[in-house]
């Protein structure tokens, strides 16, 4: 369960750095990393998929900035 501080920091970041904060992306990344930690997903396959994502996807690509519109 997230703490009050977590909610306050998230709001602060979204209000002041909205172009760089994507809560949906972060939640999806947490899920992916949990699967890797639990042995349910191969880390090498994950990294390959992460960097080879299509331009419209939420996954990052080197040199690409993620923002609210993505």
Could you report the per-residue pLDDT of 25-40, keeping only the tens digit for each?
A: 888 899 999 999 999 9
Q: Is the pLDDT of residue 65 over 60?
A: no
- Note whether 63 and 54 are within 8 A (CB): no
Q: What is the pLDDT of residue 64?
A: 45
Q: Considering only 12-16, 19-23, 24-28, 51-55, which range has the smallest mean pLDDT?
A: 51-55
Give the residue with greater pLDDT, 18 vs 61. 18
| Average of per-residue pLDDT values in the chain | 80
């Amino acid at each position: 369960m997230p703490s009050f501080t977590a909610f306050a920091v998230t709001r602060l970041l979204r209000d002041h750095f909205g172009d760089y904060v994507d809560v949906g992306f972060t939640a999806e990344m947490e899920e992916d990393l949990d699967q890797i930690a639990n042995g349910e997903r191969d880390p090498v396959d994950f990294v390959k998929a992460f960097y080879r994502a299509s331009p419209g996807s939420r996954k990052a690509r080197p040199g690409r900035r993620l923002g609210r519109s993505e």
